[in-house]
Structure 1
């Protein structure tokens, strides 16, 4: 089906079921697991880290169920931005759209530098900016050609990450029980879980402090909803992806954290740049550091690829709903919103520049917004679903007639919203995260004020959001 026939805003339903599955799975397996997991274990302890990932996994499951229902009611490219506009209000749609766009665009910029730094392990004499520029051209080309080209690339990026995690769990699990040697060290079994400090050396406070970091590691799953407008047979593929994604992500994350916690004492884990490299080195895997360097590089490019796609489509959606210039809704002959892509990439590179030129002002602002954007989106999704379902039932709609219905209404959306509010509350409570919290929500408030006092004057010119699933 084409979208907006004849007006130059057509997107193509080019993503297949396997693309959608890998996009949502690969989006949450990234540097948050490969690099930040050591910090989580160090702060929360072995049991605390596992509990933090279980709590975050539950939140992901609740949010994805709500998103699945909305994505089949309105299978539009803008996803939760469009849903928020219709079911909560234009001001909320405007705010969450721009905050989320800025968050992903900023993240994309940082991935380019991080990827360039990783390349220096193999090419120490080549300047970082050359590799960064090469990756910019690569990801821009992948996103500018066709949606299918982006999806196929992300499929293989995600496949590499998934295989790396599976192999790590298998080899690390064997090492725990002494089936694989660890040099002169005995098999650890479960000694780290019963050793110094036990399961929760810092109490439950350590768990709560790390929750925002863990939530950030899971963010990216919602990209599945953004892709709904370009997915073949969304009524079949989206429910299938929801049913499998959460279980498999939890399986990967929780088992990986369990293996890391069993092999590396929690006091040492927090000091490691990549605990995965340490485990492979301890076991004696040849070229362990090079293997993980390649996997982490793949993870960075995958995040950059997904982020560029997500932020481009959000800007496209904002344009379609009259909240950004109309030029961003125009697409190329290949069905790609090229103007949105170019501006998003330009902002990504500009945000990268601020890490050097305005690190103490603009850069802090951008990353403070990024820190809360994903969780804000996760709170908006169940709130939109709650409002939709309540309105749907009030108008005489039957749940059985929905293509996909989140179960246990209204418990699921209310619990998801409450969990997000709790995470925000503890983020404000933690002195280390308090500044980012207030700066981030200060920007959110500024977006609301801008909409009400400036943008609302143009409200009568904002067209209704079309259902892109209409042929």
Structure 2
């Protein structure tokens, strides 16, 4: 029997949170998008990933300080509402929900493509997408702990794959392995073909456009705050490890790839991870790597379903969404929100069922739009922190988890996001996303306008 009195249970342990954080830091974009980013920026892509990673570390630190300043905050939407006002919270919550719906559709389309490769002409492309929606709905309906376990093992697969790739690459370098193109593996391959910035400043900037999507989901740990055991210890530990993870999973792995395969030989339409594994000579390596990439996309889709349901639950509690989304099952899971979010993922199934020769263009457009929307989310977290410092200085002084560099780090991060948006304008597919994405905010403004004033007044008193 559903009820309104139950609350989300703190069932996620430190083990779950650490792996959820790692899973969020290792996106599908790393496995599948790194070939395109390398072709655009060359070796300077290592600097691109490093810069984005450290900027998002400041975003996460700001989010961590805010969440821990008031444990009544269940997610970043709550502190945005409290610090910037009800309209900001309304825009933040529904935009984050939409971000993951768009990303989830893209992941499901990618999953179907991976299955098609593993089992060519055996399974209709819409079947894997629909199966994943049903499977993830069932898994998430049971208990939040089961979600944590699922993400734990998804993340383990990604971690093992990347560590294995690094080990194989180091072995190739020390044994002077020759690639099929006849080039000997060496660290010098990173810089001996045009230097560190072979495509110039424009190529370097172009790398940011695609690389940013690889980090989508890094903020996911912020939606687990209400279901985390001992958040004062668990959240800081997960956030503080982000720089190390960026260096290990992004910078080191891509440096190894470009040492074994000179950057000009990397096909932008193929995953360099898959190609490098095929060099091992293990017959099944190609298929195994595709399976790893498939689990990465599945992990992203599963995380999206989780986060959208929790976002709807939080929005409903503060009366920014219909009241039935706050209903919980006996397992203290927001079942109505889960079901609604899964229904909203069905357009991906329809696209795959009817087919469309422009699917890849649409895929690029929606992922670019998702990245722009996530930039909005990250920026709102930073702006909320600025307001926090002005309105609640006593809480900041008492904080044991202050942002490194203080407000200087925050303002520099906001300038970087402005730079990203400008960079998006200079590439045709991402430019289309900038043109169409504002329509979402127009729709939200219309929805906000028609909400009765008496409900809006209650938003201010929620905290």
Is TM-score (shorter-chain normalized) higher than 0.5?
yes
* Aligned-pair Cα RMSD in Å: 2.6
In the other structure, the counterpart of 2:48 is: 52
Q: Distance in 2 between matches of 1:207 and 1:448?
A: 36
Q: From 83, 103, 118, give the equivalent of 2:114.
A: 118
Structural mapping, 1:328-367, within 5 Å: 328-353=325-350, 367=367
Distance of aligned partners of 1:464 and 1:184 in 2 relative to their CA distance in 1, 3 Å threshold: closer
Q: Does 1:42 align with 2:1?
A: no
C-alpha deviation, 1:414, in angstroms: 1.3
Contact 1:193 1:199 in 2 (8 A): yes
Q: From 249, 252, 257, give the equivalent of 2:249.
A: 252
In the other structure, the counterpart of 1:415 is: 412
Contact 1:38 1:273 in 2 (8 A): yes
Distance of aligned partners of 1:365 and 1:263 in 2 relative to their CA distance in 1, 3 Å threshold: closer
Q: Distance in 2 between matches of 1:267 and 1:77?
A: 48
C-alpha deviation, 1:76, in angstroms: 5.5
CA-to-aligned-CA distance 1:353-378 (integer Å, 9 cap, x gap): 35758979998985554231111111
> What is the TM-score when the length of structure 1 is the normalising length?
0.90
Distance of aligned partners of 1:367 and 1:280 in 2 relative to their CA distance in 1, 3 Å threshold: closer
Distance of aligned partners of 1:362 and 1:92 in 2 relative to their CA distance in 1, 3 Å threshold: farther
In the other structure, the counterpart of 1:63 is: 59
Q: Does 1:292 align with 2:289?
A: yes
Of 143-152 and 368-377, deviating more is 368-377
Q: Distance in 2 between matches of 1:299 and 1:204?
A: 31
> What is the TM-score when the length of structure 2 is the normalising length?
0.91
Q: Secondary structure at the match of 1:196?
A: coil
Q: Distance in 2 between matches of 1:217 and 1:313?
A: 23
Q: Does 1:28 align with 2:25?
A: yes
Of 294-303 and 106-115, deviating more is 106-115
Structural mapping, 1:115-264, within 5 Å: 115-124=111-120, 125-178=122-175, 182=179, 185=182, 187-264=184-261
Q: Distance in 1 between matches of 2:302 and 2:461?
A: 27
Q: From 64, 89, 93, give the equivalent of 1:97.
A: 93
Of 96-105 and 360-369, deviating more is 360-369
Of 295-304 and 128-137, deviating more is 128-137
Contact 1:368 1:439 in 2 (8 A): no
Q: Distance in 2 between matches of 1:274 and 1:263?
A: 14
C-alpha deviation, 1:7, in angstroms: 3.3
Q: Secondary structure at the match of 2:117?
A: coil
In the other structure, the counterpart of 2:389 is: 389
Q: Distance in 1 between matches of 2:258 and 2:364?
A: 32
Distance of aligned partners of 1:368 and 1:249 in 2 relative to their CA distance in 1, 3 Å threshold: closer
C-alpha deviation, 1:22, in angstroms: 0.5
Contact 2:25 2:245 in 1 (8 A): no
Q: From 273, 282, 285, give the equivalent of 2:279.
A: 282
In the other structure, the counterpart of 1:15 is: 12
What residue ranges of structure 1 are gaps of 5+ in the alignment? 1-5
Q: Secondary structure at the match of 1:283?
A: coil
In the other structure, the counterpart of 1:82 is: 78
Contact 1:177 1:187 in 2 (8 A): no
In the other structure, the counterpart of 1:307 is: 304
Q: Distance in 1 between matches of 2:180 and 2:317?
A: 60
What residue ranges of structure 2 are gaps of 5+ in the alignment? none
Q: Does 1:321 align with 2:347?
A: no
Q: Secondary structure at the match of 2:392?
A: helix
CA-to-aligned-CA distance 1:75-132 (integer Å, 9 cap, x gap): 4575222221111122221112212211201222332332233223343322223333
Q: Distance in 1 between matches of 2:102 and 2:17?
A: 24
Q: Distance in 2 between matches of 1:459 and 1:368?
A: 34
C-alpha deviation, 1:187, in angstroms: 2.9
In the other structure, the counterpart of 1:442 is: 439
Q: Distance in 2 between matches of 1:282 and 1:460?
A: 60
CA-to-aligned-CA distance 1:316-372 (integer Å, 9 cap, x gap): 111112111011111111010000000000001135535758979998985554231
Distance of aligned partners of 1:340 and 1:362 in 2 relative to their CA distance in 1, 3 Å threshold: farther
Of 263-272 and 415-424, deviating more is 263-272
Contact 2:80 2:381 in 1 (8 A): yes
Contact 2:212 2:371 in 1 (8 A): no
Q: Distance in 2 between matches of 1:465 and 1:12?
A: 24
Q: Secondary structure at the match of 1:7?
A: coil
Distance of aligned partners of 1:342 and 1:42 in 2 relative to their CA distance in 1, 3 Å threshold: same
